[in-house]
Structures are given as C-alpha cells and as structure tokens.
Amino acid sequence: MSRIHQLAPEAAAGKAKELLDAVNAKLGRVPNMTRAMASSPAVLEGYLGLSGALGKGRLSAKNREQIALAVGQVNHCDYCLAAHSTIGKMVGLTPEQILDSRRGTAVDPKSDAVIRFARQIVDARGQVSDADIGEVRAAGLDDGAIAEVVANVALNIFTNYFNHVAETDIDFPRAEPIDDHHEMCASLPGCDETR
C-alpha cells in the first residue's frame, strides 16, 4: 500500500484536479504515481512540466523511454520499470529493445551511446569523464542532445526516488525480472562481482 496518498481524480480540487484532468486527457488514465504526486500540485506540475518540455526536445520518444528503462533498472524502481516497459511498447520499442535498455545497451549504435551515457551519468553521479563525453559525441550527439540525456536522467531519478519513498501501488503490467547484475557489471570498469 502506498505510503503517500494516491488522490482519486474525482476527489481532487483546484490545481490538483486541473493537473490530473490533463494527465487523463493525455494518457486516457491517471496512473497512481501522478495521483500520489497530486498531494502536492507543485510536485506534479514540476514533473509534468519537465516531462512535457523534454518531449519536445531532440531525443526521440524511443530514446527517452530507453533512458527511463536503463535508469529505472539501475535504481531498482519496479513502478518505473512497469510503466516504461508499457510506454516503451506504445512508442515502438520491441520486447528485446526494452530488455536491452534495462541491461544498459542497444543494437543501434546511437541508441547504445545514449543508454550507456545515461548509465554512466547515474553510476558516476554526474561526474562523467572527458572520454565519456567524447564517446557520446563520436556517436553523433551534440551538446543539446547531451544536455537532454542529462535532463532525462534527472527526471527519471526523480520518479524512481519518488516511487521508492511513496511505495506507489503498481498499476501497469509488471516488468519481467532479469538477472542484470552480472551483465551490467561486465560493462562497468571496476565492478565488484561480489556485491
């Protein structure tokens, strides 16, 4: 059971109602995460604002979902993995691309660079190296796209942490479990397999 009340849209008033109605109009439903965020309309408005702005950026919907899946996997956010596995399918990711994203990789070289860079940002807490920046630039990302990867990582860390604190009730089909430690560890320098 959620530790932060998940406000029913029909019980909402004022700004919370306005925001939940906008979510419903866009998605055709009001997910439990946004219901919980509506306990503070400022939080929900901030989330929707950043998410909406990034949706108008240069990263594709597929790349944004791949980042969400990679970050959600690193942070073990079951709610976000369920939500973004569902949304990923809606924007055209195959089941294999969803699993690859969760494992921190992709077959397509540009998508692979985006996902790996997103993982590096999370793993290094933003302290990426010049070589990391060089690799993502070599894959075709300019400064604007790099900035958007950072912003998408931040957005997804926010939702991961929010859902951890709230223990949001999962209202999407659960993502299939994967044994990701060995595969993820193999791709990271200095990884300790005994963790």
Q: pLDDT by residue for the chain (195 residues), tens digit each?
A: 899 999 999 999 999 999 999 999 998 999 999 999 999 999 999 999 999 999 999 999 999 999 999 999 999 999 999 999 999 999 999 999 999 999 999 999 999 999 999 999 999 999 999 999 999 999 999 999 999 999 999 999 999 999 999 999 999 999 999 976 544 455 445 555 443
Instruction: Give me the residue spans of the domains in the chain.
Output: 1-56, 60-195
CATH code assigned to 60-195: 1.20.1290.10
pTM more than 0.75: yes
Between CA 87 and CA 77 the distance in angstroms is 15
Residues 66 and 115 sit within 8 Å (Cβ to Cβ): yes
Q: What angle do CA 117, 83, 36 make, to 5 degrees?
A: 110
